[in-house]
Amino acid sequence: MLKAGRIWALGAMSGTSLDGVDAAMVETDGEEIFAFGASDYRGYSEGEQAVLAGALGKWPGEDVAEAEAVVQMAHAELLSRFEGAQLVGFHGQTLAHEPRERGTYQIGDGAALSEALGVPVVWDFRSADVELGGEGAPLAPFFHFACAKWIGAERPLCFLNLGGVGNLTWVDPRKDRPEAEGALLAFDTGPANAPINDVMMRRRGLPYDKDGALARRGHVEDGALELFLDDAYFSRMPPKSLDRNEFSDMIGLVNELSDADAVATLTGMSAAAVLRGMEHCPEPPERLLVTGGGRHNPVLMEMLRVALDCPVEPVEAAGLDGDMLEAQAFAYLAVRVARGRPTSGPGTTGVRAAVCGGTISRPEGTD
Ligand SMILES: Nc1ncnc2c1ncn2[C@@H]1O[C@H](COP(=O)(O)OP(=O)(O)OP(=O)(O)O)[C@@H](O)[C@H]1O
Ligand SMILES: CC(=O)N[C@H]1[C@@H]2OC[C@@H](O2)[C@@H](O)[C@@H]1O[C@H](C)C(=O)O
């Protein structure tokens, strides 16, 4: 096990949007954040994205060799640009996630990456949680707890990640540790950018609705919104988590609408899913800090601001980096794993008791 004390760790995340890999350095002892360091990004080419998209929904035993090679190469290329990392946290790319049925599946080989970089790599963060009855996601909440301390929060607040899928973390910074009872409540709110991106690609051949420009020209169709909110997912008590494509049928609800109305309605659905999620907060948060690409969508942000009675701000308002928070989370979690500290608990994934997920691979010849 890694000796006590602070170290520099490098985390990498390849998210559900399939746009690329983020990587960032964090100095931490696995409890406290001491400093944030360099960060970088390596986008997937269109060809690589097509390979990854073609592998979504596949499980171990199916042929994912090409997708695995893309993920491996992109990470090796990106992470070798960094210097000074004593440990790497490698999330990999989620292909499928059905925690209650078939499990959770991230591709990427941490042992091979460790050999390539010459640094210990923590990977396979989600399986242990699922094996112990948890959702295996979201995992960023233990890091959000450390972020709440880092920004000096004294009252409960929320972090909202608007990626392909949305996830919400309610944090009580008055608690000492993330695993303390009542310190965290976290879950996936519903689809966020994934359906917007899918419709933009299908109808306009564009990867996303830049700055909400198309949604701004449309209006939200209430009937479709109501049908969407009828989904049993929204009345399920958290913790709960989603696969990227679990809501792909929702696109059918906007089939008959114009492009602008369809995208406005999907944007409204993402916001409404967050509002439904906020009802689960044990105490009203003093602010909602938004991370992930969706914070750049002013239409989505405005919908949240109008509907919520707390300030809704990008995480940058608190001095954090919304493009890198997930990569930083896996740097932080890697150090927790190396120290044998829990990375999820009943409040974040519904796992029976706090669990330390992740496998550590060391380069051959090191201990
Ligand atoms: N300027 C913008 N206007 C509108 N939407 C944007 C803008 N910038 C980014 N986005 C949205 O954010 C998405 C990328 O978000 P992000 O990088 O957080 O996703 P991810 O990390 O892959 O997802 P996840 O957190 O689900 O794993 C883009 O695909 C797009 O939909
Ligand atoms: C199974 C999986 O990869 N889930 C991702 C995805 O992207 C957002 C949301 O769905 C969240 O549950 C999770 O990622 C973040 C980093 C997490 O685990 O906190």
Whether residues 101 and 249 share a domain: the answer is: no
For residue 173, the enclosing domain spans 153-318
Whether residues 332 and 268 share a domain: the answer is: no
Whether residues 232 and 292 share a domain: the answer is: yes
Whether residues 123 and 232 share a domain: the answer is: no
Q: pLDDT by residue (tens digit) across 5-44?
A: 999 999 999 998 889 999 999 999 999 999 999 999 999 9
pLDDT of 259 reads 98
What is the number of the ligand closest to the CA of 93? 2
Cα of 139 vs centre of ligand 2, distance in Å, is 7
Say if 242 falls within a structural domain: yes
Name all residues whose Cβ lies below 6 A of ligand 1: 15-17, 19, 161, 163-165, 193, 196-197, 208-212, 292-294, 296-297, 326
Q: pLDDT by residue (tens digit) across 44-63?
A: 999 999 999 999 999 999 99
287 by DSSP, 3-state: which? coil
Say if 337 falls within a structural domain: yes
Whether residues 158 and 299 share a domain: the answer is: yes
Say if 73 falls within a structural domain: yes
> Which ligand 1 atom is the nearest neighbour of the CA of 20?
22
Q: Flag whether 16 is marked binding.
A: yes
Say if 17 falls within a structural domain: yes
Q: Which residue has a Cα nearest atom 7 of ligand 1?
A: 296
pLDDT of residue 1 exceeding 80: no
CATH number of the domain to which 79 belongs: 3.30.420.40
Whether residues 16 and 110 share a domain: the answer is: yes
Say if 299 falls within a structural domain: yes
Say if 367 falls within a structural domain: no
Whether residues 164 and 297 share a domain: the answer is: yes
pTM score above 0.80: yes
Kindly indicate the confidence band of residue 171, based on its pLDDT and cuts at 50, 70 and 90: very high
Whether residues 313 and 330 share a domain: the answer is: no
Whether residues 67 and 158 share a domain: the answer is: no
pLDDT of residue 2 exceeding 90: no
Q: Average pLDDT in the 263-282 region?
A: 97
Residue whose pair of structure tokens reads 């009252």 in the numeric block:
155
**CA 360, CA 77: separation in Å to the nearest integer?**
20
Cα of 20 vs centre of ligand 2, distance in Å, is 15
Whether residues 34 and 98 share a domain: the answer is: yes
Beta bridge partners, 43, equal: 20
Q: Which residue has a Cα nearest atom 5 of ligand 1?
A: 297
Structure tokens of 272?
């409404």
Say if 146 falls within a structural domain: no
Say if 196 falls within a structural domain: yes
Cα of 177 vs centre of ligand 1, distance in Å, is 30
Whether residues 79 and 221 share a domain: the answer is: no
Residue by residue, DSSP assigns 17-71 as T-SEEEEEEEEE-SSSEEEEEEEEEEEPPHHHHHHHHHHTT--BTB--HHHHHHH
Whether residues 22 and 110 share a domain: the answer is: yes
Cα of 164 vs centre of ligand 2, distance in Å, is 9
Residue whose pair of structure tokens reads 């490098």 in the numeric block:
10
